[in-house]
Amino acid sequence: MTPRQFAALLGFLFAAAWTGFGFGEAILCLVGAGVFAGLLYAGEAFLRGDIDLGDVQSRLRSAAPETRTGQARVR
Q: Quote the domain boundaries for residue 44.
A: 3-63
Can you say how many angstroms the Cα of residue 12 is from the centroid of all Cα atoms in its chain? 21
- The verdict on residue 33 lying in a domain is yes
- The verdict on residue 19 lying in a domain is yes
- The verdict on residue 72 lying in a domain is no
- The verdict on residue 68 lying in a domain is no
pLDDT tens readout for residues 2-57: 778 877 887 888 888 888 888 888 888 778 888 888 888 888 888 888 888 888 88
Asked if 42 and 51 touch (Cβ cutoff 8 Å), the reply is yes
> What is the Cα gyration radius of the chain?
21
Q: What is the pTM of this model?
A: 0.47
Contacts 24+ apart (CB under 8 A), 65-72: none
- The verdict on residue 71 lying in a domain is no
